[in-house]
A and B are shown apart, each in its own frame.
Chain A
Amino acid sequence: MPASPLSRLLPAFLLLAAGLALPGCATPPPADDPDALAEFKEANDPLEPTNRALYAVNDVFDTVFFRPAAKAYVWLLPQEIRNRTHNVLVNALGPVTFANDVLQGQPRRAGDSLMRFVVNSTVGVGGIFDVATDWGWPYHETDFGLTMDTWGISEGPYLFLPILGPTNPRDSTGFAVDAAINPTTWIARGQAMTIVGYTRLGLTALDKRSEVLDTLDRVKEQALDPYATIRSLARQNRQSKEADNRDTRPPTIPAWFPRPQAPAAAAP
């Protein structure tokens, strides 16, 4: 019996994407037009016709369902409750973040993630209150797509998938892996966990969509080509996350530990 709503929905998305991906490939500009060719490479979107079709499909879904739902979510619930909900959702991802920290060989960050999950799940009442940040275990974000990035796996061509939005083969695979390694996906089965799973999926969607309400409204209002603007924004944002994730290597020694005077490395 499949228990997770995510594991049930994902194959459907991927099949849909694969089916739609078959017909449309963008024709690269001719080699004698170096500027246009550079633009084509920068956009990294060889499947553009397909992606645009999927974007149009998603746009309809979004206009009739996701955007109004997110609007209602913001209208119904006060900011404070939405922030607490966000905290709980983020806390529930703790084990996934921890696993990715370990897979990236980041001992300090793995320790942060572990302590955050333990402290916020208990003292922070299931993640409602972020006690861990005040206690010296700051939040960071990572996922399996970023883990694969640290392993040297490149993103592949740009993809726009319905619901998932702007992504690429590596990061959408990472999304599936993150869902698969999430303990709530496989720990407990039965009706109660199924309800928890769907609630979490629904709330995650509302949380994520409501975060970008203003940004997306503005893009659609001001951009001449919203599809291209979203592609540019999403890719730049992801690249900066990749760079941050690669460059941040916090030392394993805690801040209170007396530091050695010599530049020689201290024993762990």
Chain B
Amino acid sequence: MLARRSLLPRLCLMSAGLVALAARAQAQAPDVATAFVSALLKDILAVVNGGGAAADKRAAIARIIDTKVDVDGVARFCLGRFWRTATPAQQQDYVKLFHTVLLNSVAGKVGEYSGVSFTMGATRAREEDVLVSTVVSRPNNAPSKVDWVVANIGGQPKLVDLIAEGTSLRLTQRSDYASFLASHGNNVQTLLDAIRAQLAKTAG
């Protein structure tokens, strides 16, 4: 009798613990996000401030993006409601193109920088992700605010958005695509062709 009475609360506690563990696996822990961003900044600074040819820098940035950014998730976000109307082949094609779009956009921004330093700021947990604030300083430039949005993607912390001076990279990209689609009959294939043409133009 005595044994059973003490067993019951223990079981309850154990199951509560399991539930808590499961919940934590879904949401991003703020301290993990902070550590993730701080490690990511170290990687980025090594590339940006380290010398080397533009092509080497670009390759290094591509490696960082592939390992640290949830590119597929960002791609889906940027296509918004049109992700559902796209065919599986179009989705696949689009995600592939988007990898290059993102690399161009980030490499273009980062490529010409040097002498960059970051100051870590506050970390704030939001509904689905964690926002880590930093201040970026560059010589001869006013310091600018950059927030890193980290989410838990399949148990791993991944970067899902970059907010520079209040402007979210993925929101801006999404409104670009949405506006393009609105003026082109909401045709996803037209968007894919336009992205491809744009990439060919910037590469050439």
Contacts and interface: CB of A to CB of B under 8 A. Distances in A.
B121 to A, nearest CB: 13
The secondary structure that dominates the B interface is: helix
A35 B166 CA distance: 24
Given A222-B202, A236-B168, A228 B180 contact: yes
A233 B81 contact: no
B180 A225 contact: yes
A224 B191 contact: yes
17 contacts: A39-B178, A214-B112, A222-B105, A223-B176, A225-B179, A225-B180, A227-B179, A228-B175, A228-B178, A231-B175, A232-B167, A232-B172, A233-B167, A233-B172, A236-B167, A236-B172, A237-B165
B117 interface: no
B177 A221 contact: no
A223 B199 CA distance: 10
Interface residues of B, number: 28
Nearest 7 pairs between A and B by C-beta? Answer: A240-B166, A228-B179, A232-B175, A224-B180, A236-B167, A35-B81, A225-B179
A43 B175 contact: yes
Contacts of A43: 175, 179
B140 A228 contact: no
B108 interface: yes
Contacts of A231: 175
Contacts, number: 67
Interface string B95-128: 0000001001100110010000000000000000
A232 B171 contact: yes
B141 to A, nearest CB: 9
Contacts of B180: 224-225, 228
Nearest to B172: A232
B195 interface: yes
B177 A224 contact: yes
Contacts of B168: 236
B182 interface: yes
Interface in A5-43: 35-36, 39, 42-43
Given A39-B80, A79-B140, A236-B167, 18 more contacts: A42-B175, A43-B175, A80-B140, A218-B105, A222-B104, A223-B176, A224-B180, A224-B191, A228-B175, A228-B178, A232-B172, A232-B175, A233-B167, A233-B172, A236-B172, A237-B167, A240-B167, A241-B166
Nearest to B175: A232
Interface residues of A, number: 28
A55 to B, nearest CB: 12
A79 B195 CA distance: 36
Interface in B107-155: 108-109, 112, 140
A236 to B, nearest CB: 4
A149 to B, nearest CB: 14
A128 B168 CA distance: 34
B202 to A, nearest CB: 6
Interface of A: 35-36, 39, 42-43, 79-80, 83, 214, 218, 221-225, 227-229, 231-233, 236-241, 243
Given A214-B112, A225-B176, A228-B176, A237 B140 contact: no
Contacts of A225: 176, 179-180, 183
B194 interface: yes
Q: Which of A42, A79, A83, A223 has the most CB of B within 10 A?
A: A223
Contacts of A229: 172, 175-176
B175 A224 contact: no
Contact of B176 (A36, A224, A236, A239): A224
Contacts of B176: 223-225, 228-229, 232
B198 interface: yes
Contacts of B195: 224
A223 to B, nearest CB: 5
Contact of A239 (B80, B104, B166): B166
